[in-house]
Amino acid sequence: MMNRHKSKCLLLLCIFIMLYGCVAVNHPKRIKDGKPYCITSGLFLHQWDDHYERALSCIEGEFYDDAIADLKIAISMRDIDERMAETYGMHFIDYFPHRELGIIYLIKGKLQDAMTELQRSIEQEPSAKATYYLDKALIEQMKQQMVQVKKPELQLHNVDKNVLWTSADPVVISGSSSDDQYIKDIQISGQSILIERSKQSVQFHETVELPEGEYPFNIKAINLLDGETAKNIYVHVDRSGPVIIIDQYIPNQLIKGTINDTSGEVSLFINGKSVLQSQKTPIDFHYQLNGNKAEVHAIDRLNNQTKALISREVFSRFKQKVLHAFQSPLTISDSMQITSMKTTKNPQFIIFDWPNKHYDVFLDSIHLTGYVSADKRIVSASINNKSICSNPGRFIFFNQQVSLSKGDNYIQLSAIDELGRKEHKEIQITKCIPEILKQGYRFSSIQNQFKSIRAQNKTSVDFQYDLFHQVQTRKRLKLIVCQKLNRLFEDYLYTSVHFETTNVVQSSLFGTIYKDIHGLDITVRLVGNNRCILTVGDAFRETITHETIESMSHEISNKIHKHIPVIKGTIRSVEDQKIIAEFDQQFNPPENWPLIIYRLMNPDSKSGSDTQIIGYAKIEKRIRPGQYSCKQTKNTTNVPIKKGDKVVTQ
């Protein structure tokens, strides 16, 4: 009985193979230059994926009518363009029938049909290749309409007479551009902003890390017909308060001095009364006093401030160095007037918040608030070679921002008086990295060897090597490479990539490098351990050169990083393991993206604070812009998580 059953099954299997074998043999295979096209890799079972695969083979041989027929059948069976479409079991393919149909229509000159299919593809599943060919279709349409090349409109925010004054950190360069010939590129000093699709109106908002100073920028908008508009601007970064120079002070009579500021615009208040407003500095002031106290308050155009309180008190009080420019007033005690104070010998720097020689801080910058004084006029004073002395004076008050680099920073303060006496002071500031921002706590990933289809091996390896270094340079992911890929790098005489073992790799980078008759299409996926796609980056180029490989790796790296920024937030409520977190910036995190829960160890410290990691969580859903419901996944300490604790994307 069992043998008879087996025989029937074997017979049915043979019939199945014969039937579908005949189908596979009889499908419209084409031959070009001795090579077969319009074929599939396996049995042709008349499924949507069989028709799609055969259509791609037809396209490669330029048998476009056959490809159209197969694509239309595939669409009738599965209408949606999508990445990682499941065929059977755990097998997936990138499925873009509308995109490929649109490209064929463009080649055959059916412009409207091409634009309809390409737009439908982008609406269903955006891809760089569809965007590229939709742009080509729009260009062709405009050429057929014989439109004249126009220059795009370009508006820059907060720019007055080609100058942007800002105290923002980081600096924000923003604006908009519009053109009915579609904006394809916005460049800031030669660097393109990521625009994933040409539009008739584009808003841009880019951040740039800049210390204080003046910087030239060229902002350019380019449309699809290569019409362009460029604007040259200067960005003035000023985060320091005005400098107050006091040359004479007589209680109950007068205070005399000079105000100077980089921005050129200042407002001066003495004892709460407006003394002057000027759009040009340095500017002298002379104020009649009705008492023995002068509270001097200077504000520049960006609201940077310096304050000083000068009063008649006993000289011993002055020796206590009571000073706090900007954050609190300066008190100078003098029996009669500033000129009679016995400051003696060399000029003297008094720094309120940082009086010692060395500090460890967890800040990107600090403000030096203080003054330099002498019994003769000071003719030169500087902080890190930046002059703070526009006019001679006996007391110079300052509130200067100093940007810090990682590690040791040496701040140099120098002054010379009119007798040539010199003073030099050095403060060492060591910038430390808070625990939560160290590379070891970033989201970890392993770069696997990418699948290469018809691309030359060197092209494939060049791209994978360039992408690895693009991602490594950004330091957003803790990225390692698999041993197989590392050996491949070595085979092509690249430097061996240092890869280290890690206890937990949270994700993997997978990619497909696809070369067809039209060009090179590369897609890279960041996939979590739960097999969910966290983010995708892709790029397409018609020509393949070393330069295009580099530009594609740069574009894909930007697309991946755009969706996984390091963003901090604050816990607003905690109930069991459910956490409501509000983030400092609006963003659209991938589902289940992990968070680090932490607490500031010294929240009120002037030096910033290191952080204590107290747990982990994952984002579950958005409540409203900037606010998310999260689930605690781990508590690393016995410290209960509470409202006011902090989170950061891992």
Q: Tens of pLDDT along 484-499?
A: 998 888 888 766 665 5
Domain ranges in the chain are 12-144, 153-237, 243-432, 437-558, 568-649
pLDDT, residue 331, reads 37
Phi and psi of 202, rounded to 5°? -130, 130
pLDDT category, 504, cuts 50, 70, 90? confident
| Mean pLDDT, residues 235-240 | 97
What's the whole-model pTM score?
A: 0.85
Q: What's the pLDDT band for 559 if we cut at 50, 70, 90?
A: very high
Q: CA-CA distance, 165 to 265, in Å (whole number)?
A: 11
DSSP 8-class letter at 151: P
Tell the CATH superfamily of the 153-237 domain. Answer: Immunoglobulins (2.60.40.10)
CA dihedral of 355, 300, 327, 170, whole degrees rounded to 10: -80
The CA distance from 436 to 273, in Å, is: 47
List, for residues 180-212, the tens digit of each pLDDT value.
999 999 999 999 998 989 999 999 999 999 999
Question: What is the spatial distance between Cα 368 and Cα 402, in angstroms, rounded to a whole number?
Answer: 7
My answer on whether omega of the bond before 170 falls inside 30° of 0, hence cis, is yes
Those residues whose C-beta lies under 8 Å from the C-beta of residue 497, and which sit 6 or more positions away, are 468, 481, 485, 486, 489
pLDDT value of position 531: 85
Distance CA 506, CA 348 (A): 56
Q: Locate tokens 């149909």: which residue?
A: 101
CA 98, 102, 104, 108 dihedral sign is: positive
Higher pLDDT, 440 or 152: 152
The pLDDT of residue 496:
63
pLDDT of residue 503: 63
Asked whether 541 and 463 are in contact (CB, 8 A), the reply is no
Residues sharing a CB contact under 8 Å with residue 118, sequence separation 6 or more, in sequence order? 98, 99, 102, 103, 106, 130, 133, 134, 137
Q: What is the mean pLDDT of residues 218-237?
A: 98
Task: Write out pLDDT tens, residues 597-637.
Answer: 999 999 999 999 999 999 999 999 999 999 999 999 988 88
Q: Which of 17-31, 299-313, 536-550 has the lowest mean pLDDT?
A: 17-31
For 104-159, write each residue's pLDDT tens digit: 999 999 999 999 999 999 999 999 999 999 999 999 999 999 999 999 999 999 99
The owner of tokens 């800031």 is 188
In the predicted model, what is the mean pLDDT of residues 463-481?
93
Distance separating alpha carbons of residues 251 and 231, to the nearest angstrom: 53
- Say if residue 337 is exposed, middle or buried (CB neighbours under 10 Å; 0-12, 13-18, 19+): middle
pLDDT at 315: 27
Taking the CA atoms of residue 97, residue 98, residue 104 and residue 106 in that order, the dihedral angle to the nearest 10 degrees is -160
Q: Do domains 153-237 and 243-432 have the same CATH topology?
A: yes
- Scanning the structure block, which residue is given the tokens 């070009």? 32
Average pLDDT over residues 327-346: 41
Collect all residues with Cβ–Cβ distance below 8 Å to 222 and sequence separation of at least 6. Answer: 152, 183, 184, 185, 186, 187, 228
Contacts of 473 (CB under 8 A, 6+ apart): none
Please tell me the distance from the alpha carbon of residue 330 to that of residue 287, in angstroms, as a whole number.
Answer: 18
538-546: long-range contacts, CB 8 A cutoff, minimum separation 24: 538/127, 538/128, 538/129, 539/128, 540/127, 540/128, 540/129, 540/131, 540/132, 542/132, 542/518, 543/519, 544/459, 544/515, 544/519, 544/520, 546/462
Furthest-apart CA atoms within the chain: distance in Å? 123
The model's pLDDT over 245-299, given as tens digits with 9 standing for 90+, comes to 998 888 888 999 999 999 999 999 999 999 999 999 999 999 998 888 889 999 9
The position carrying tokens 């007798």 is: 419
Residue 469 carries which DSSP code? H
Report the C-alpha gap between 561 and 301 in whole angstroms: 35
pLDDT for the residue 344: 53
Q: What is the pLDDT of residue 26?
A: 45
- Please tell me the CATH superfamily of domain 437-558, with its number: TolB, N-terminal domain (3.40.50.10070)
Measured CA distances, 329 to 267, 298, 301 (Å): 17, 12, 21
Per-residue pLDDT, 417? 94
- Provide the pLDDT confidence category of residue 311 given band limits of 50, 70 and 90: confident
- Per-residue DSSP letter, 564: S
Higher pLDDT, 393 or 223: 223
Lookup result for tokens 């790799």:
505
- Interval 517-536 mean pLDDT: 93
174 vs 19, more confident: 174
Query: What is the third-level CATH fold of 243-432?
Result: Immunoglobulin-like (2.60.40)
End-to-end CA distance of the chain: 62
Rounded Cα distance between 190 and 176, Å, is: 17
> What fold is seen in the domain 12-144?
1.25.40
DSSP 37-84: ES--SS-----HHHHHHHHHHHHHTT-HHHHHHHHHHHHHH----EEE
Is 340's pLDDT higher than 70? no
pLDDT at 497: 67
Query: CB neighbours of 327 closer than 8 A, spacing ≥ 6?
Result: 353, 369
- Beta partners for residue 296, in sequence order: 270, 308
Q: How many CB atoms lie within 10 A of CB 582?
A: 15
**CB count in 10 Å sphere of residue 212:** 18
Closest by Cα among 640, 629, 561 to 595: 629
**pLDDT confidence of residue 249:** 86
Asked if residues 501 and 446 have their Cβ atoms less than 8 Å apart, the reply is no
Q: Tell me which of 334 and 108 has the higher pLDDT.
A: 108
Topology, domain 568-649: Thrombin, subunit H (2.40.10)
The pLDDT mean for the chain works out to 88
Amino acid 385 reads N
Give the Å distances, CA to CA, from 619 to 465, 571, 593, 616, 632.
32, 12, 5, 10, 9
Q: In sequence order, which residues have a C-beta less than 8 Å from that of residue 599 and are 6 or more positions away?
A: 611, 612, 614, 639, 645, 646
- pLDDT confidence tier of residue 338, bands split at 50, 70 and 90: very low
